[in-house]
């Protein structure tokens, strides 16, 4: 503990003795003096104070102009409308996409064949029901004439006149139930799909797939369907790409009968 010298303790005691009112009065005097000093320097100080205080205080309020009044009183866009507007580009994107036509890629042979069949339906009927001399396809009728799709492809491509001119009578199964079909025997003329109707090999395959599987009700789980008419048919894709034609498809793919470049006699079911 530090010893406090005697003379300091004495001075302290004396100070405390004159405390209370005297001390308060002293303080009051000091305050008054300070106030007086401030008052004395007022003219110069006032300007300085006003300057330095200005940035801290609230900005002076000017009356709004007519434009500002109108702006503040305007009708504001509600929050829900803002949300709706913000998703508008997404909606527009989806809408435009929905308008795109379905591409041939998504259609496959059957989809394309249904479109090509517009070239045939005036004679054979929209459902392949047959009209006059143009035979029906439905209920398996066309499969009875052509157990092999290749014979039908050839017949459709070249038509009645070419077969008659080539002296090829039987265009389908020679053992057909109810009798073999003979070119020209119906009394009508089947136009050549290629020369007369302007169809390409791949379009002819597509329309024949439509006749066999959509109209005649062929077995879509069978080997022939997958090989020729399924969406992933390699033969269809090769014809579409132009890497194969009816003239050479039998050389490029296993187990394919010759379609050829001219009429040929039809093949029996058991071949």
Helix axes 88-99, 79-86, angle to 10 degrees: 40
DSSP string, 119-161: GTHHHH-TTS--BTTB---TTTHHHHH-SSHHHHHHHHHHHHH
Selected range binding ligand HEC among 75-83, 114-122, 219-227, 244-252, rule: CB under 6 A? 114-122
Is 152 one of the binding residues for ligand HEC (CB under 6 A)? Answer: yes
| Binding residue for ligand HEC, selected from 108, 112, 134, 225, defined by CB under 6 A | 134
Is 229 one of the binding residues for ligand HEC (CB under 6 A)? Answer: no
Tokens of 249: 């498809």
Is 166 one of the binding residues for ligand HEC (CB under 6 A)? Answer: no
d(CA 243, CA 249): 9
d(CA 258, CA 266): 11
Is 153 one of the binding residues for ligand HEC (CB under 6 A)? Answer: no
Selected range binding ligand HEC among 2-10, 187-195, 219-227, 228-236, rule: CB under 6 A? 187-195
Is 189 one of the binding residues for ligand HEC (CB under 6 A)? Answer: yes
Is 25 one of the binding residues for ligand HEC (CB under 6 A)? Answer: no
User: Do residues 145 and 180 make contact, with C-beta atoms less than 8 angstroms apart?
Assistant: no
Q: Which residues pair with 226 in a beta bridge?
A: none
Which residues here bind ligand HEC, judged by CB under 6 A? 119-120, 122-124, 133-135, 141-142, 145, 152, 155-156, 160, 172, 181, 183-186, 188-191, 193, 197, 207, 211
């Amino acid at each position: 503990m530090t010893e406090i010298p005697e003379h300091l303790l004495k001075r302290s005691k004396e100070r405390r003795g004159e405390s209370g009112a005297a001390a308060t009065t002293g303080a009051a005097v000091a305050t008054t003096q300070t106030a007086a000093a401030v008052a004395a320097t007022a003219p110069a100080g006032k300007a300085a104070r006003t300057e330095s205080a200005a940035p801290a205080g609230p900005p002076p309020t000017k009356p709004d102009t007519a434009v500002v009044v109108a702006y503040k009183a305007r009708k504001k866009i509600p929050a829900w409308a803002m949300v709706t507007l913000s998703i508008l580009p997404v909606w527009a994107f989806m809408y435009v996409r929905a308008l795109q036509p379905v591409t041939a890629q998504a259609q496959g042979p059957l989809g394309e064949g249904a479109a090509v069949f517009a070239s045939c339906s005036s004679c054979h009927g929209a459902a392949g029901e047959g009209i006059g001399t143009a035979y029906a396809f439905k209920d398996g009728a066309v499969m009875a004439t052509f157990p092999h799709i290749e014979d039908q492809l050839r017949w459709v491509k070249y038509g009645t006149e070419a077969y008659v001119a080539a002296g090829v009578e039987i265009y389908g199964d020679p053992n057909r139930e109810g009798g073999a079909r003979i070119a020209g025997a119906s009394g009508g003329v089947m136009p050549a799909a290629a020369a007369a109707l302007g169809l390409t090999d791949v379009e002819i395959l597509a329309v024949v797939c439509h006749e066999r599987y959509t109209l005649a009700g062929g077995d879509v789980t069978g080997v022939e369907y997958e090989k020729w008419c399924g969406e992933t048919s390699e033969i269809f894709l090769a014809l579409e790409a132009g890497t194969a034609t009816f003239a050479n498809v039998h050389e490029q793919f296993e187990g394919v009968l010759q379609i050829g470049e001219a009429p040929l006699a039809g093949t029996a079911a058991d071949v």
